[in-house]
Amino acid sequence: MGIFDKLKNVFNKNETPEPITETQEKMDKGLEKTRKTFGQMMNELMANFRKVDEDFFEELEETLITADVGFETAMRITDELRQEVKLQNAKKPEEVQNVIVEKLVSIYEENGLEEQNEVNLQSEGLSIILFVGVNGVGKTTSIGKLANQYREEGKKVLLAAADTFRAGAIDQLIVWGDRAQVDVVYGQAGGDPASVVFDAVKRAKDEEADILLVDTAGRLQNKDHLMKELEKIKRIIQREVPDAPHEVLLVVDATTGQNAMVQAKQFKETTDVTGLVLTKLDGTAKGGMVLAIRNELNLPVKLVGLGEGINDLQPFNPSEFVYGLFKELIVAED
């Protein structure tokens, strides 16, 4: 049974919802603003139309774009919905709304068939994870929170302060290292990031660390300079650990909506991004962007920030996300 069928059964009272876990509860609460905004948009759309005609589909497309599901996603859903509404002979507002949600869910699931949402950690030896992203999105904070989680799981973790260009970046990572109780390898402000990474990889190997988390510069003079810097760092890493980095995680701020999509596209062009860390999901009504990310960029979300606490960065569960986003949009049918 797919997610949509489960949602439908619960709201048609054919099935009792399963007790939710703590992580599900966090995701549910984190999506509250998005769900409320999305619901209001759908209610307004349904209240305004008298029949399912071309004006309705145009308004639906605008509604979906406003809900941050992405331009391509909105166009695809609208086009497919034209056919689906005819096939299902949907006429009542609640029937049409359910078809819209079903289509959103099916596109989301379809694009995630081959998706790996777990962070790629090696079963043996050193795992190296590179973090990229523009300044101010919560990159260093996410690294610190993840380091704390891995340390609590019994892993030996090291941090590398390779963002040597931003004032205060090294100090910020050192503070997070203290909070997470893990060591930080760093050099001089304005120094060579690749040199810091070289020292960090050497120390991680010497000390038989399990995980090395590398903070990188969020913005250099231009895209070419940024690309060259990241490539240099990767070459240094691969000399010592040929199959590394095992992840290149792009950190984006969920509150920026489509701007985060633009950043993701740019970084994907610049370097081999393997997944996303979505921060501040609990503080935004723009959670629909996760649909756009999966449909338009084919990048898996690996981690989500659902609060300010050190334990509020958690693995991304696609089923929990889609359930939390749509659970109040399914309308019980007669």
Which tens digits make up the pLDDT trace of 168-201?
A: 999 999 999 999 999 999 999 999 999 999 999 9
Residue 219 assigned ligand-binding role: yes
CATH code, 216: 3.40.50.300
Residue 136 assigned ligand-binding role: yes
Residue 166 assigned ligand-binding role: no
Pair (310, 260) in one structural domain: yes
Which tens digits make up the pLDDT trace of 245-261?
A: 999 999 999 888 888 88
Residue 217 assigned ligand-binding role: yes
Residue 215 assigned ligand-binding role: yes
Pair (83, 186) in one structural domain: no
Residue 182 assigned ligand-binding role: no
Residue 216 assigned ligand-binding role: yes
Of 58, 90, 115, which residue constitutes the final position of a domain?
A: 115
Number of folded domains in the chain?
2
Confirm if 93 and 48 have CB atoms less than 8 A apart: no
CATH code, 29: 1.20.120.140
Pair (87, 141) in one structural domain: no
Residue 177 assigned ligand-binding role: no
Residue 162 assigned ligand-binding role: no
Pair (144, 255) in one structural domain: yes
**C-alpha distances out from residue 295 to 108, 111, 238, 247, 268, Å:** 7, 6, 31, 21, 15
Q: Is residue 234 in a domain?
A: yes
Pair (57, 88) in one structural domain: yes
Q: Is residue 326 in a domain?
A: no
Residue 256 assigned ligand-binding role: no
Pair (261, 296) in one structural domain: yes
pTM confidence score: 0.86
Question: What would the two tokens of residue 83 be?
Answer: 């056919």
3-class state of residue 220 by DSSP = coil
Q: Is residue 121 in a domain?
A: no
Pair (103, 195) in one structural domain: no
Confidence of residue 10 (pLDDT cuts 50, 70, 90): very low
Exposure letters 212-246 (e unless 16+ CB within 10 A, then b)? bbbbbbbebeeeeebeebbeebbebbeebbeebbb
Structural domain boundaries enclosing 88? 3-115
Averaged pLDDT score across all residues of the chain: 85
Residue 282 assigned ligand-binding role: yes
